[in-house]
């Protein structure tokens, strides 16, 4: 693997081939931004979202209760749907499109966009835009899920209120040309609602019903709503738990932390002190495949020739960083 430093951000990438990248990625923390003085803007509740999220979580709870009625095949299908939708977020929206930490061929991008619609977490363009402001203005008013506003806000609260104006102001200044140039991303954005209806709700429900005679109700509540709600909460735990609990072996001056439990449920995305320190690393972790199905998946895609140019931080750079800014919790440091 190649040694990467932040200087690669400055390198202009070439355009043209199927795996091209068009611009530098704005995911590096900007310490020049200062929150505005004076009173904070009032919190404006979005009742539509509050009602929908309540209904979803009630449905998911019902799904939990009817698990004993589900056939073994339906449970296996639930796990498959979990994995596919999770990869659409981790390998797709996060590591590929938000951070450009590797390059993906057209067929892989199509798969990741479909998987991403199955996860129904906003389209890739919106997800990556919010995520880049999250890294650049982490723990400030311009961070969409600013964890200094507490666990609940960072977890789900931020989706139930209007955004802080600074999120939008700063977000509008971000360079997103690489996303606009990706036809797969723009196609998914254009057809987002229909793709979600089909991939997040119809396919998970109809497959068990059609192929092995599962009842429509069980199929809707278990691989449908329960699976969707669990993937959402596993994702949100990265913003809440992994910004609050855990060690900071790489940079003790920032809030994000190493949280193995979150890494496990989020198929590799809980090594969050590492990730905010080295956001361009395709593995989002120092430790390869450990609790990290996503990294194994990307490695498999490289092996199959569907992905390439994985960016990785060298061991020397990691060790130097641990010595310089770590909290001393890293066993090797």
Other CB atoms within 10 A of residue 213 CB: 11
CB of 143 to Zn ion, least distance (A): 8
Contact 154, 144 (CB under 8 A): no
Please provide the DSSP assignment of 105-127 as one string. -HHHHHHHHHHHHHH-SS-HHHH
**How wide is the angle at C-alpha 307 spanned by C-alphas 302 and 313, nearest 5°?**
75
- Least distance in angstroms from the C-beta of 202 to ligand ST9: 17
Binds ligand ST9 (CB under 6 A): choice among 21, 130, 178, 251: 130
CB 74 within 8 A of CB 218: yes
Considering only 30-38, 56-64, 255-263, 319-327, which stretch makes contact with Zn ion by CB under 5 A? 255-263
In the three-class reduction of DSSP (H, G, I as helix; E, B as strand; rest coil), residue 45 is classed as strand
Q: At what angle do helices 47-65 and 227-239 cross, to 10 degrees?
A: 120
Contact 276, 29 (CB under 8 A): yes
Q: How far is the CB of 213 from ligand ST9 (least distance, A)?
A: 29
Which of 191, 196, 268, 274 shows the shortest CA–CA distance to 237? 268
Q: Does 116 bind ligand ST9 (CB under 6 A)?
A: no
237-256 binders of ligand ST9 (CB under 6 A): 238-239
- CB-based contacts of 3, cutoff 8 Å, min separation 6: 312, 313, 314, 316, 317
Which of 235, 259, 277, 285 is close enough to bind ligand ST9 by CB under 6 A?
Answer: 235
State the minimum distance, in angstroms, from the CB of residue 28 to Zn ion: 11
By a kind-dependent CB cut-off of 5 to 8 A, residue 121 interacts, out of ligand ST9, Zn ion, none, with ligand ST9
Which CB sits closer to Zn ion, 63 or 256? 256
Pick out residues in 46-85 that bind ligand ST9 (CB under 6 A). Answer: 46, 49
Contact status, residue 306 vs residue 108, Cβ threshold 8 Å: yes
Q: Structure tokens of 93?
A: 């929206």
Q: Does 89 bind ligand ST9 (CB under 6 A)?
A: yes
Stretch that binds ligand ST9, among 12-20, 147-155, 215-223, 227-235 (CB under 6 A): 227-235
Binding mask 207-246 for Zn ion (x = CB under 5 A): ----------------------------------------
Size of the site for ligand ST9 (CB under 6 A): 31
Number of residues in contact with Zn ion under rule CB under 5 A: 1
Please give the DSSP secondary-structure letter assigned to residue 162.
Answer: P
Cα 91 to Cα 4: distance, rounded to the nearest angstrom: 19
What residues line the site for ligand ST9 (CB under 6 A)?
A: 46, 49, 86, 89-90, 94, 120-122, 127, 129-131, 133, 144, 159, 162-163, 167-168, 171-172, 231-232, 234-235, 238-239, 266-267, 269
């Amino acid at each position: 693997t190649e040694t990467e430093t932040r200087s690669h951000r400055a390198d202009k990438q070439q355009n043209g081939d199927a795996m091209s990248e068009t611009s530098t990625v704005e995911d590096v923390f900007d310490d020049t931004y200062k929150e505005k003085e004076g009173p904070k803007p009032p919190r404006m509740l979005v009742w539509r979202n509050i009602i929908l999220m309540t209904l979803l979580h009630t449905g998911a709870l019902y799904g939990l209760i009817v698990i004993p009625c589900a056939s073994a095949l339906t449970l296996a299908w639930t796990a498959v749907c979990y994995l596919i939708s999770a990869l659409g977020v981790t390998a797709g929206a996060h590591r590929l499109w938000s951070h450009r930490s590797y390059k993906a061929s057209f067929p892989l991008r199509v798969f990741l966009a479909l998987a991403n619609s199955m996860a129904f977490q906003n389209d890739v363009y919106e997800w990556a835009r919010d995520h880049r402001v999250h890294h650049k203005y982490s723990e400030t008013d311009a961070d969409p899920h600013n964890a200094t506003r507490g666990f609940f806000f960072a977890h789900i609260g931020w989706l139930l209120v209007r955004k802080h104006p600074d999120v939008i102001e700063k977000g509008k200044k971000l360079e997103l040309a690489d996303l606009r140039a990706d036809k797969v991303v723009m196609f998914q954005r254009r057809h987002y609602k229909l793709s979600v209806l089909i991939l997040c709700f119809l396919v998970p429900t109809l497959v068990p019903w059609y192929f092995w005679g599962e009842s429509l109700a069980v199929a809707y509540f278990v691989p449908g709503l329960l699976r969707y709600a669990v993937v959402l909460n596993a994702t949100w735990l990265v913003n809440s738990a992994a910004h609050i609990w855990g060690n900071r072996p790489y940079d003790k001056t920032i809030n994000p932390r190493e949280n193995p439990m979150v890494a496990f449920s989020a198929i590799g995305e809980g090594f969050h002190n590492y990730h905010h320190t080295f956001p361009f690393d395709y593995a989002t972790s120092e430790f390869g495949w450990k609790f990290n199905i996503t990294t194994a998946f990307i490695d498999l895609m490289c092996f199959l020739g569907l992905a390439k140019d994985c960016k990785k931080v060298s061991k020397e750079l990691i060790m130097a960083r641990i010595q310089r800014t770590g909290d001393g919790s890293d066993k090797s440091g």
